[in-house]
Amino acid sequence: MEATVASWGSRMRIHALAFCLAVLAGAAPPAGADTVLTVMTFNVWGGGANEGKPVDETAAVIRAAGADIVGIQETRREGVDCREESCPPDSESVAARLAAALGFHYYDQAKTNDALWANAILSRYPIGAATPNDLGVAIDVNGRRVYAFNIHLTDFPYQPYQVMGIPYGDAPYLTTGAAAAQAAEAARGTGIALLVQDLKAANGADAAFVFGDFNEPSHRDWTARTAAAGRHPFAVDFPSARAVEAQGFTDAYRAMHPDEVDEPGYTWEAIARPADVQVHHDRIDYVFARGAGLVVEQARIYGEKTPQADVVVAPWPSDHRAVVAKVRF
């Protein structure tokens, strides 16, 4: 009996090893098996070029995260004429160089509209057709139909600064939550409308993700509780994240970290001192996920130091922190 048990165990170990080798070789998992993905949003700050940093530092962050699909923003360097109201880029996208460094596929989102500013999507898996407004792409994940959407909304006017009395261009200060929500809708509503149009392509997909630098906090963060904690003067029902959730998406970070007071998850700004009165720290970078039976298993902030980041990568190449989520579907 002992020999029989040992032989059975050996066979099981051999089968398990064969399965792992097949997965590593890129073979599809058995039919009916769950798919597990690590997905990421990362404003790469020109691939570090805005601070003269090599693109290898950005690739190292993505590699450390173990990401399978990444939405990146600011793939191009800010131009010399960059101002609060307008900031045209003046360099080539770093997406191709990042993809080559990682061995990934990539798609440069080249259209010009209110939801894009130097965006690209990187993927371990083959990338298919883009959506009409260039905000998303189909991805074949071992035969499963997945969509990745990636947006970068305007930062002007920037309502947290307007509320906190921090000068930013000629934007007026705001004194009520209703005024801040209305200003956010006016600034980013057209970009969100373009996203909602493109999301139709993902209807019936096995999974869909929205990545982005929204340049806007979430309604889940600027609450009465965080106002009472002294983070800001009043609650604001910010509209952009709410609009994405209305399409059936889950905010991956808040799903795993529901206490907005104890775990704020700040992604902006990574280079300012916490006590700098000319900056208001906020969570403005997001991973949203949707799919029948999809479960968010983990969501973490990657950045330059603790306690601001759950995972530290040094050197850190961006003025934003990244959001990384593990999902199963």
Average of per-residue pLDDT across 86-101: 90
- Are 63 and 311 a contacting pair, CB within 8 Å? no
Number of neighbouring beta carbons within 10 Å of residue 269:
17
Closest CA to 284 of 273, 294, 297, 270: 270
Q: What is the 3-state secondary structure (H, E, C) of 71-103?
A: EEECCCCECCCCCCCCCCECCCCCHHHHHHHHC
The pLDDT of residue 165 is 97
Q: Is the pLDDT of residue 41 over 70?
A: yes
Q: Contact 187/178 with Cβ under 8 angstroms? A: no
Contacts of 108 (CB under 8 A, 6+ apart): 75, 93, 95, 96, 119, 120
What local confidence, expressed as pLDDT, does residue 22 receive? 43
Is residue 50 very low, low, confident or very high in pLDDT (cuts 50, 70, 90)? confident
Position 3 scores a pLDDT of 36
The strand pairing partners of 70, in sequence order, are: 40, 122
* Residue 295, SS3 per DSSP: strand
Percent of the chain with pLDDT over 90: 80
The total number of residues written for the chain in this structure? 329
- Secondary structure element (H or E) that encloses residue 298, with its range: strand 295-303
Cα–Cα dist 104/119, whole Å: 16
Q: What angle do CA 18, 20, 25 make, to 5 degrees?
A: 95
pLDDT digits (tens, 9 = 90+) for 164-213: 999 999 999 999 999 999 999 999 999 999 999 999 999 999 999 999 99
The residues with which 138 forms a beta bridge, in sequence order, are 147
Using CA atoms, how far residue 193 sits from 26, 118, 151, 196, 213, in Å, is: 37, 19, 12, 5, 16
From edge to edge, which strands make up the β-sheet containing 127-130?
127-130, 136-141, 144-152, 207-213, 285-290, 250-251
How many CB atoms are located within 10 Å of the residue 217 CB? 27
What pLDDT, on the 0 to 100 scale, is given for residue 28?
Answer: 58
Distance from C-alpha of 246 to C-alpha of 180, rounded to nearest angstrom: 20
pLDDT digits (tens, 9 = 90+) for 10-33: 433 434 444 343 444 445 556 678
What's the distance, CA 160 to chain centroid? 20
- 105, 123 contact by CB (below 8 A): yes
Structure tokens, 269 = 């700004």
Contacts for 270-277: CB closer than 8 Å, 24+ residues apart: 270/303, 270/304, 270/308, 270/316, 270/318, 270/319, 270/320, 270/321, 271/304, 271/319, 274/308, 277/166
CB within 8 A of 91, min separation 6: which ones?
A: 46, 49, 76, 77
Q: Is the pLDDT assigned to residue 6 strictly greater than 60?
A: no
- CATH fourth-level superfamily of 33-328: Endonuclease/exonuclease/phosphatase (3.60.10.10)
- The yes-or-no verdict on residue 272 having pLDDT over 70 is yes
Domain residue ranges in the chain: 33-328
Q: pLDDT tens across 119-168, in order?
A: 999 999 999 999 999 999 999 999 999 999 999 999 999 999 999 999 99
Direct distance between the N- and C-terminal alpha carbons of the chain, in angstroms, rounded to an integer: 40
